[in-house]
Structure 1
Amino acid sequence: MKKRILAVYFSQSGQTKTIVDNFIKPIAADGNDVEYLQIKPVHQFPFPWTIPVFFDTVPESVEVIPTPLQPWKTDFEKYDLVVLGWQPWNLSPSIPFSSILQDEKFKSLIKDTPVITISGCRNMWINAQEKNKKLLKAAGAMLVGNIALVDRHPNHLSYFTIFHWLGTGRKDRKWGVFPRPGVSEKDISGASKFGDVTKEYLREGKWDGLQQDLVKMGAAPVKYSLMFIEKKAGKIFQKWVDIINKFPQKRKNILVAYKYYLAVALLVASPVILAVDFVLFRPFSQRKIKRQMEYYRSVDFREII
C-alpha cells in the first residue's frame, strides 16, 4: 500500500537538502508519495557566515529559543512517516530546526507519528540530538530512527575546514592543503542505503528494529573521544550562555572572549584532558562507557544518562 511521507528540512548550503534527497530516493522509488517542507525563518541566517554573526547564534541555539518562522502548510494533516533533516549549531539543534519542533501546529502534525531524524554535521551531534529527543517527546512524536552523517577527518583538521566553508561558502581545500570540509560526497550519496532499509519497515508500518539495523550500517557513529569532549563542552557552553544572560549589555564582548576560549579549549586543552582520562579514568569505566555509547546510538530518551 502506498504510504504518505513528509520530508522536512532546513538547509543553508544545500548539504542537508541533498542528504535528505538521497535518503528519500529509494522510498519514493518504492511508489510512496513524498512531500517536502522547507523550514524558512523570518530572520534569515546568512550563508556564508561572518564569524561574529555565527557566534551570535550561541545563546539562542544552546537554550533552544525559537525564532519566528514564515507561514507554512502541508497537503495533509497526518503522514505515515515524517523525515526531519537538520544540523547542529553549537552542540544544539540549529535555531530554525528547533523552532519548528516547538511550533504548535507542527507538534500537532507529528503527534503519534513515526519520525526519522537525519543530519549532516562536523562530527559532534550527540548533545543536539538529545535536545531533539526531548522536543520530539514533548510533541508526542515517535522517534524510530536517527542517522548522523559526519565529517570523517580528525577533529582538529575539521575545526579549521568548517570555518573555511562557513566563511567562504566554498567546499574546497583551504589553501589547497586541508581536506574538503563537511560530509563527503560519498557519504552524502550513500544516504540512500539508509532509505533502502527504511522502506522495508515503512511497507509493514512496524518500526521495531529499524534503528538497530541503521546502526549496523554506520548510521549513528559514536566515537569515545568526541563523546567525552562533547559532554564536557555542552556544560561549558551553558556556563558561557549563563554569563551572557547575566550581562546582556556585554553580549558582544563575551562572545568574542568565548570564540578565543573555544579555540584554545579544542586545540590545546582537549588533547591534554583526553590523555589524562585515557590513563586515569577510561580503563576503569568500560562498562559505563559502553552503556553510554549504546544509548546515544539509540532512539531512546532519558533525562539522566
Structure 2
Amino acid sequence: MGKKILAVYFSQSGQTRAIVESFLRPVVADGNEVEYLQIKTVHEFPFPWSIPVFFDTVPESVNIIPTALEPWQTKLERYDLVIMGWQPWNLSPSIPFSSILQDEKFKSLIKGTPVITISGCRNMWINAQEKNKKLLQAAGARLVGNIALVDRHLNHLSYFTIFHWLGTGRKDRKWGIFPKPGVSEKDISGASRFGNVVKDYLRLNNWEGLQQDLSQIGATPVKYSLMFIERKAGKIFQKWVDLINKFPQKRKNILIVYKYYLAVALLVASPLILAVDLVFFRPFSQKKIRRQIQYYRGVEYKERI
C-alpha cells in the first residue's frame, strides 16, 4: 500500500515548486500519494522584486520573525513523510517558510513525522538550514534528509545574476553575456535522482542512513570557501539587524548603507580574507574543517560545532 506524503512549499518564481515536483516524480511513480500545500502569507512578497523591497526583508528573515499566514488545511491529520521546499533569504530561511515552521497548527501536524527539506538557492544555504533544524527540532519533527540545489556559477557572477532575476522576473542572461540565474534546468530535472533514493527508504519506513546516501550523490554540496564566507557573514548580518532594531526610525537609511556594504564585502573584501585564510589559517585547521563540512552535510542539529 502506498504511503501518504505532504509536500509543503513556498515559491515566488515557480522554481521551488518545479524542484519539489521533479524530486517527487519517482516517489509518485512508486505508488505513493502526494498532497501539495503551498505556503501563502497575508502580506504578499512580490515577484519580481525591487531591490529596496528585497532588502527590507533583512531584519525579519535574519531574526526569523513570522508573518501572518493565509488559512490553510490538509486532507489528513498525519502523513508518512513531509517534504518541505524552501529557499534562503539573507542567509536565513525565507520569511514565509520560517513562518509556517512556527505555526502551532503546522507544528502539531509534523510532530513525530519524518521530514525532508529541499531547497533551491544561489549558493549559500548552511546558515539558513541550521535555523530550519532548530525550528524543526522545536516542533518535534524528525529531520531525516536534506537536499540543496545551487547555482553552480562563480560566486561573483551569481551575485549579479540573482539580482537581475529578482528585479526583472526573467531567468535569462543579463545583457546577453552573464550566465542564467538560479538552479539550472538540468539540475532541477535531475532532482529526481534524490527521489529515487528516498522511495526505497519510504517503502521500509526506515530512515537510518538516508542522508548519507543522499550526500554521496551530491545532495548537500559544501564548498569550503563559501562555508567560510557564510559563517563569517551570518554573524555580521546579525549585527546589522541589531543596529536596525536599536534605531528602528533609521531602518531605511541603515538598509541602504547595508546594501552597499554587502556588495563591497562580497566582491572586494571576501577574496582578500580568503587569501589570508589560505596562507595563515586553513593549513593548520584541516581536521576542524572536515568536521564542519561533515556536520553541514548531515541532518543533526547542534548549538555549537
Query: TM-score w.r.t. structure 2 length?
Result: 1.00
Take 1:103 and 1:252, find their aligned partners in 2: how far apart are those partners? 29
Instruction: Give per-residue Cα distances to partners, 1:204-223, cap 9 Å, x unaligned.
Output: 00000100000000000000
CA distance, structure 2, for counterparts of residue 174 and residue 245 of structure 1: 35
The runs of 5 or more residues in structure 2 that have no matched partner are: none
Question: 2: distance between equivalents of 1:138 and 1:108?
Answer: 11
In the other structure, the counterpart of 1:65 is 65
The structure 1 segments of at least 4 consecutive aligned residues displaced by more than 6 Å after TM superposition are none
Residue matched to 1:31: 31
The DSSP-based 3-state class of the residue aligned with 1:41 is coil
**TM-score normalised per structure 1:** 1.00
Matches within 5 A, 1:246-285: 246-285=246-285
Secondary structure class of the residue paired with 1:265: helix
Cα distance in 1 for residues equivalent to 2:244 and 2:90: 15
Q: Give matches, 1:18-167, under 5 Å.
A: 18-167=18-167
For 2:279, the aligned partner's letter is V
How far apart, in 2, do the equivalents of 1:47 and 1:69 lie? 18
1:81 Cα offset (Å): 0.2
Percent of residue pairs bearing the same amino acid type: 81
CA drift at 1:266 = 0.2
1:194 is aligned to 194
Task: Determine the C-alpha separation between the residues in 2 that align with 1:104 and 1:87.
Answer: 21
> How many residue pairs end up in the alignment?
305
Q: Matches of 2:244 and 2:100 in 1, distance apart? A: 25
- Listed one character per residue, the Cα deviations across residues 59-93 of structure 1 (whole Å, up to 9, x for unaligned) are 00000000000000000010000000000000000
Cα distance, 1:5 vs structure 2? 0.1
1:221-255 deviations in Å (ceiling 9; x for gaps):
00000000000000000000000000000000000
Q: What is the RMSD of the two structures over their aligned residues, measured on CA atoms? A: 0.3
Per-residue Cα deviation, 1:184-223 (whole angstroms, up to 9, x for no partner): 0000000000001100000000000100000000000000
Equivalent position amino acid for 2:5 in 1: I
- Structure 1: runs of 5 or more not aligned: none
Which one is further off, 26-35 or 288-297? 26-35
Counterpart CA distance in 1 for 2:35 and 2:95 is 23
Letter in 2 for 1:235: K
CA offset at residue 37 of structure 1?
A: 0.2
The residue number in structure 2 matching 1:235 is 235
**Separation in 1, partners of 2:4, 2:75:** 10
Please state whether the residue corresponding to 2:119 is helix, strand or coil. Answer: strand
Cα distance per residue 1:99-148 (max 9 Å; x no partner): 00000000000000000000000000000000000000000000000000
Match of 1:204 in 2: 204
SS at match of 1:36: strand
